A and B are shown apart, each in its own frame.
Chain A
Amino acid sequence: MAIREKLSGNEAVAVAMKQIEPDVVAAFPITPSTEVPQYFSQFVANGQVDTEFVAVESEHSAMSACIGSQAAGGRTMTATSSNGMALMWEMLYIASSLRLPIVMALVNRALSGPINIHNDHSDSMGARDSGWIQLYSETNQEAYDNFIQAVRIGEHTDVLLPVMVCYDGFITSHAVENIEILEDGEVKDFVGEYEPLHYLLDRERAISLGALDLPSIYFEHKRGQAQAMINAKQVILDVAAEYERLTGRRYGLFEEYMLSDAEVAVVVLNSTAGTTKAVVDKLRSRGIKAGLLKPRVFRPFPYDEIREALGHVKGIAVLDKAEGFSGAGGPLFTEVGSALQGIANVEMTSYIYGLGGRDVTVDHIESVFMDLKDRLADGKGNKITYLGIHE
């Protein structure tokens, strides 16, 4: 029986964490981490969960403790943000290479410097090659739903990879929305008991983890890790189908909004997809065939499916809330471009927007669609546009 609640994004994720009741949560208790460990530590202090909460002295230690705990055989979670995750960097790779399905809430915020605490995606985009599955969330509801599904995705024996659930700092993390949450028992039944394939505290079958891996075998282990990421795509869909049966809420690799007959489309992650939907509605009422593709899964990147969904669109603007500094457009732009390679007569353009929390309004998004229309008419336009920059 669904429960109606009013929760901020961070509260929603903390409640999901409470309902999952992992064995261990290890987190840095102050900024740049999020409110999630703060809320969760209250649940621990109040005796509402039986989880071991480990307050560590740094984010590097937070991820290290998560690795130790998950390797020992415990279901383990953490939450962080921006420079907090940057300090975890080394350990992010070790968590994924050791195939430990840790789940992390990542509240997307800008990386310093100059020092900035506001929302953009430079943190998670920087970690896109770290071997973590990345799920993105438009709303508080999606952050809650993704967080619960993440457990099942990561722990699946075809996958065994850590999962980060990303949602926009302040916009989603601190704003309160009406959401539907599940009963505690429904969540516990959905995630089930954690049954690791191998774990360090298994007295019947001792193992070693993290041994030196020389050129004779390291390459093979990386190939296995790559396969796990390839396998994750189907597992994500299977878990989503099961979750839909439980909640009625449908999730896929991405969401298509008015896309099937669209001539011009925006591709954008997280909360700005909501802004874009409002603009699409407005433009549709004026007879403009506008559409949206909102990726939910960025790692593994759904190349074939995105190619299928966008192949018919004439003008595509990919909006990145991270610079990426490739010199050739944002990270989402380059991925979508790879997905569409070889398709003729597609005008694709990269927009960088909202860095360091710069506000992005419906007017900005409408200007993107209008620019796309103009580009289709005269073939002229920028390869990269900095949306809302003060020239």
Chain B
Amino acid sequence: MTRWHDQSSATYMKLDREGDKKRSWKGEPPGGVILNSGNSKEFSTGDWRAMRPIWLIEKCTQCLLCWPVCPDMAIPVEGGERTDYNYYHCKGCGICVEVCPFDAIDFIREE
């Protein structure tokens, strides 16, 4: 009865990403309930990206207008200053590019 608790959702996500490892129906919790909270950060949304923002550090004034408009958690802030993109989560929406008053973010096609 407790076997579902033994597997973390991180394991589920990993298997899902790998694709080739199949999760048996027998190990699934009833109703597909997700047992660990806060696991959306484990989901790689970065692979949806068609356009990639590039942070031009020499033009950046650290005004931080980009940070609050990011719909994900792709612009990490440390010690009051933004750092480079978290490309694991950045979907390439380009809102930060639009909002930047200093042209400090380039926007290039994802290869």
Which residues from chain A sit less than 8 Å from chain B, CB to CB? Answer: 97-100, 157, 160, 197-198, 205-209, 211, 213, 216-221, 223-225, 227-228
Give Cα A19–Cα B76 distance, bound, in whole angstroms: 56
B16:A100 contact, CB within 8 angstroms: no
Q: Which of A99, A157, A208, A228 contacts B34 (CB 8 A)?
A: A208
- In the complex, per-residue mask of B20-36: 1 if CB is within 8 Å of any chain A CB, else 0: 00011110111111111
Shortest CB distance B110–A (Å): 23
Give Cα A209–Cα B38 distance, bound, in whole angstroms: 13
Residues of the A chain whose Cβ atoms lie less than 8 Å from the Cβ of B33: 98, 198, 207-209
Residues of the B chain whose Cβ atoms lie less than 8 Å from the Cβ of A216: 16, 19
Residues of the B chain whose Cβ atoms lie less than 8 Å from the Cβ of A98: 31, 33
B25:A205 contact, CB within 8 angstroms: no
The prevalent SS among residues of A at the interface is: loop
Residues of the B chain whose Cβ atoms lie less than 8 Å from the Cβ of A219: 25
Question: B40's closest neighbor in chain A, by CB?
Answer: A208
A217:B28 contact, CB within 8 angstroms: yes
* A216-B16, A220-B25, A223-B25 known; A197+B30 contact, CB < 8 A: yes
Q: What are the 6 closest A-B residue pairs judged by CB atoms, nearest first?
A: A206-B37, A220-B25, A99-B31, A99-B30, A208-B34, A223-B25
Residues of the A chain whose Cβ atoms lie less than 8 Å from the Cβ of B30: 99, 160, 197-198, 224, 228
A224:B35 contact, CB within 8 angstroms: no
Give Cα A217–Cα B13 distance, bound, in whole angstroms: 11
Residues of the A chain whose Cβ atoms lie less than 8 Å from the Cβ of B38: 206
Residues of the B chain whose Cβ atoms lie less than 8 Å from the Cβ of A157: 1
B1:A224 contact, CB within 8 angstroms: no
A97:B31 contact, CB within 8 angstroms: yes
Give Cα A228–Cα B24 distance, bound, in whole angstroms: 16
Give Cα A190–Cα B34 distance, bound, in whole angstroms: 31
A220:B23 contact, CB within 8 angstroms: yes
Q: Which of B16, B23, B24, B35 contacts A198 (CB 8 A)?
A: B35
B16:A221 contact, CB within 8 angstroms: no
Q: Which of A198, A207, A224 contacts B28 (CB 8 A)?
A: A224
